[in-house]
Chain A
């Protein structure tokens, strides 16, 4: 903490993590609940049954309360790229800006325009146009997730771009490569489907509370059935896309995969740790055991990473120090190449500045040789290339365990709903209610894996967070961090209170 630059980075990371995690409390519920409300309203329009309208409006009220604070936290994230990550904004603006602009034009305006009809248009537009508006809010909300996740996917797997040494930034070369990179596609599908699961758990949990309290039982059972079907289908999709996402991580971010499993020494038939307690004192290259205790399933990590249970999966040590036998270049070697790239870039800039074109051309040729490891040139030790292992490991395992539990809950709800005994299953209704919180835990854990697991990189292999930050005194960011913490906490508290009150009032109001 003695280094002022590191301190600024620390606060900037803390502030961005705080904002993103608060934002992600509200967004998944918006993404999923918008579709559930659209399903409910579709049934109302189809059947003409006023009870379904009442049910729709109840969930719509909760949707509206949640939506507002999601927007409030979202605007901060967009502008924080500039305020806290100024160098990053410049270096990736040419690539990152376009998805954001598309998001604004195509998604935000759909949301903003049809949201007003959804809430205030019941008496102003036809039933069918109102339903159309509700669907448009659902589509718009989910579209707004596409482009920010494309941008995030690009940061995890930079593609379709080239470094421009004159401008000292990355520039887009192929929009389609950026938009349809496999990492971006799986990031979007995995994230949105997990949001559908969370929203389904929310609807089931609140409905289960009604059943436990013996209130609004008919409405609660109807809501639970729709949510359970949606949640179950979404859960299967989460599993499928999660598997694809892990496959991508193995190939584009092997260090993240190694951290997810606490794998220090690479091996064939690499196991998945079903349960384990990480040794937090362990550092790359030392002889300490990686776990205090662990239960492993042999070959499963190899299967996940390479679709082959007998294949080799590199560990943290291989990726930090290299493994000649397996032809793996470690961070140690990459740092040498990266520093050479930075030196040649400086050489090139100086030669251009002084008008020495011959020297500039030769420096540029050398830079082009080394530029693949550009980001490693900023690291001060090879071990910096490894993310915090314990946080990544536990978050991944919490996410997976909970993600496996949720479809079982959905199935049980459907089973007892078909049997017509849902309201008598007190244990299941209690489970559903507490699953609301488990849904949020799993959702947040997923983002922790994605973001903590890719440290120290703002852009994988090319730009570490320490270089991406704004050149500003740490005290400024520290102050805004605590302002955000206070403000968001107060607003979250207000939101929860309002939500609880609306649930107490119920659909009869």
Chain B
């Protein structure tokens, strides 16, 4: 199984596939966003239950997509997996802790004798939706700001900081990126509630929440965009593989890859239209514009980091240890095998879409929460 595609094509393809999975995960963080809305949007226990049950139908999909994102990175770019997860230890561990809390919270929250009480599990969900996303943003932010590591001849990693990733969470750019992701998730969560819940008061509040959270997101979005346009970046000489600092690298990437510019502008425009449609035009379909827009923005961000002769996981202490999609990837054979497997993805997406359609044919109502299936509800 040698494959017909060149190794460098496969490396680019797998960066794209990982980017698609990562971007879909960002869309699906509407679940996390919804979890943070239970304390700000719901004015009664019933409304809280509606939000949690609406999100509860999809939390596993988000969780699974995160696992797949990790798996895809491990499979396609194992040196990134080894370098980042082992080095930025605390950031990843804290992210994982918040996802452990989330995984049990839906199932245990309403069950009798759950020891911690419903409110504790709701707080767990809010922690996952806020701290979890801010830290994921911080981790992705290091694609642009770099990390303090070096690799030896055997590709064994040493980190030059005892904080192991915590320092990344305090970097203003990374923090702004994380906060933007959190507010974006809240926007998407509110849109999802509008689309999937049948409850007049809650939906009214959710419509309002879309544009309020957009206003909150804006300063962080602007910080990220202005920083990206002005910051020096980690460029790679394609002939020698030597990494060097390039002034305005990410702006150069954007201008050098017009398709990415279109993705970014189109994606942001789509999210903003989604907010306008939901918040001001009374439409229920905003989640689709918001979701598609988020995927496009995600693709643009990952493309800026990985393509156009750029080191996607740069080292700020030893430039030549920086990771590119070429030096961090799996072998041609493995990428070819995985590409064959990836041909099944459209089938997977098709059955997910079919099942979603069946399950979401009717909006969630209070009657459903108290009906025959009440004991299965979250």
Contact = CB atoms under 8 A, between A and B. Distances in A.
Interface stretch (B199-207, B229-237, B327-335): B327-335
A129 B357 CA distance: 13
B43 interface: no
Interface string A90-113: 101111111011111110110111
A498 B121 CA distance: 14
Contacts of A95: 334
Given A78-B71, A123-B373, A125-B358, A97 B76 contact: yes
B352 A172 contact: no
Given A64-B107, A98-B337, A113 B93 contact: no
A14 interface: no
Contacts of B300: none
B331 A76 contact: no
B85 A86 contact: yes
Interface stretch (B157-165, B174-182, B213-221, B275-283): B157-165
Given A101-B75, A120-B359, A471-B156, A89 B81 contact: yes
A476 B334 contact: no
Interface stretch (A65-73, A199-207, A223-231, A320-328): A65-73
Contacts of A81: 74, 81, 85
Contact of B100 (A75, A172, A471): A75
* Chain A interface, DSSP helix/strand/loop, else mixed: helix
B103 interface: yes
B375 A61 contact: yes
Contact of B85 (A83, A113, A117, A490): A83
A75 B86 contact: no
Nearest to A480: B93
B351 A113 contact: yes
B67 A104 contact: yes
B72 A69 contact: no
A114 B356 CA distance: 10
Q: How large is the interface on A (under 10, 10 to 19, 20 to 34, 35 or more residues)?
A: 35 or more
A241 to B, nearest CB: 27
A491 B116 CA distance: 10
Given A124-B361, A124-B362, A472-B89, A98 B75 contact: yes
Nearest to B364: A120
* Chain B interface, DSSP helix/strand/loop, else mixed: helix
B226 interface: no
Contact of B157 (A86, A103, A175): A86
Interface stretch (B44-52, B57-65, B190-198, B243-251): B57-65
A82 interface: yes
Interface in A483-509: 483, 487, 490-491, 493-495, 497-498, 500-502, 505, 509
Contacts of A120: 57, 359, 373, 376
Contacts of B376: 57, 61, 64, 119-120, 122
Nearest to A109: B348
Contacts of A111: 60, 64
Interface string A458-492: 00000000000011110010001001000100110
Contact of A501 (B84, B99, B113, B162): B113
Given A90-B155, A108-B67, A109-B64, A476 B97 contact: no
A471 B157 CA distance: 7
B96 A75 contact: yes
B111 A502 contact: yes
A79 B71 contact: no
Given A86-B86, A117-B355, A168 B153 contact: yes
A222 interface: no
Nearest to A119: B376
Contacts of B111: 65, 498, 501-502
A411 B55 CA distance: 45
B113 A498 contact: yes
Contact of B355 (A61, A86, A113): A113
Contact of A173 (B333, B338, B344, B355): B333
B297 to A, nearest CB: 23
Contacts of A104: 64, 67-68, 71-72
Interface of B: 1, 57-58, 60-61, 63-64, 66-68, 70-72, 74-76, 78-79, 81-87, 89-90, 92-93, 96-97, 99-100, 103-104, 106-108, 111-116, 153-159, 162, 164, 330-331, 333-334, 337-338, 341-342, 344-345, 348, 351-352, 355-356, 358-359, 361-362, 368, 371-373, 375-376
Interface of A: 57, 61, 64-65, 67-69, 71-76, 78-79, 81-87, 89-90, 92-98, 100-106, 108-109, 111-117, 119-125, 129, 133, 164, 167-169, 171-173, 175, 349, 353, 470-473, 476, 480, 483, 487, 490-491, 493-495, 497-498, 500-502, 505, 509
8 contacts: A83-B89, A90-B156, A98-B341, A101-B76, A105-B344, A114-B355, A123-B368, A497-B114
Given A78-B67, A133-B355, 11 more contacts: A65-B108, A72-B99, A76-B100, A86-B82, A89-B82, A90-B156, A97-B76, A98-B334, A106-B344, A349-B153, A497-B115
